[in-house]
Homo-oligomer: A and B are copies of this chain.
Amino acid sequence: MVIPSEKRNIFQVKGEVSLDDRERLHGHKGAAIWFTGLSASGKSTCAHRLEKILHDMGCSTYVFDGDNVRMGLCSDLGFTEDDRTENIRRIGEMVKLFVDAGIIAITAFISPYRKDRRKVRSLIDEGRFVEVHMDCPLDVCAERDKKGIYEKARAGIINNFTGISSPYEAPESPELLIRSHTLDVGKAALRITGYLKEKGIIC
């Protein structure tokens, strides 16, 4: 038996569940918390601490970092300017869908270029994109770096290394600026949580 298409709504592909519905279910808004800063500036640590606080408040969260993105979605990309741009573009498009799913998506990528971050911001509804600049002097980052990658970059063993052989363009007006060499990670995460409350992203 063939059921007529119109009876089965075959061509109606519009979603039956909206972002509003998902946000009502989760009890908070979907949003992107976009950390940017030099390698070893504390992005990942703060991202995970923030996730822990938000999760304990009952929020649906997810953290994206090199570990789960560079190995998977962007495993075909290197660190040239073009590849970094494509890396951030894909992450931006993915994060957009997480936000649309009503999740608080937290990203921890150097994302050194202003134009790339601007592009991601433009993908996401206003008020749902929170840029957090982890502002830490290069020397402090290099000193913290236990893996010796700054040393290798300075010796020319690693190429295209942000801050050494590749530029870092600091945000001009991020939603939040964290001087991560003078602020404890827990306090930094709480400051971001406070901002999210203030803006009505969480209750």
Q: Is there a chain B Cβ closer than 8 Å to A48's Cβ? A: yes
Q: Is there a chain B Cβ closer than 8 Å to A10's Cβ? A: yes
Chain B residues contacting A1 (CB-CB under 8 Å) are 181-182
Q: Given contacts A17-B61, A60-B60, are A45 and B96 in contact (CB under 8 A)?
A: no
- The number of chain A residues with a CB under 8 A from chain B is 63
A42 to B140, CA, bound (A): 56
Please determine whether B45 and A10 come into contact, CB atoms closer than 8 angstroms: yes
- Tell which of A51-59, A109-117, A152-160, A169-177 binds the partner: A51-59
Please determine whether A140 and B10 come into contact, CB atoms closer than 8 angstroms: no
Cross-interface CB contact of A21 among B12, B55, B146, cutoff 8 Å: B55
Please determine whether A22 and B182 come into contact, CB atoms closer than 8 angstroms: no
Chain B residues contacting A96 (CB-CB under 8 Å) are 72
Q: What is the chain B residue whose CB lies nearest that of A146?
A: B11
Chain B residues contacting A123 (CB-CB under 8 Å) are 72
Chain B residues contacting A73 (CB-CB under 8 Å) are 90, 93-94, 97
Please determine whether B182 and A2 come into contact, CB atoms closer than 8 angstroms: yes
Chain B residues contacting A94 (CB-CB under 8 Å) are 73, 94, 97
Please determine whether A8 and B45 come into contact, CB atoms closer than 8 angstroms: yes
Q: Is there a chain B Cβ closer than 8 Å to A68's Cβ? A: yes
A2 to B179, CA, bound (A): 10
Cross-interface CB contact of A58 among B3, B14, B25, cutoff 8 Å: B25
Please determine whether B17 and A184 come into contact, CB atoms closer than 8 angstroms: no
Given known contacts A2-B182, A15-B48, A15-B51, what 14 new A-B pairs fall within 8 Å (CB)?
Answer: A1-B182, A5-B146, A8-B45, A13-B65, A17-B55, A25-B60, A60-B60, A60-B102, A62-B97, A64-B97, A72-B93, A73-B94, A98-B98, A101-B103
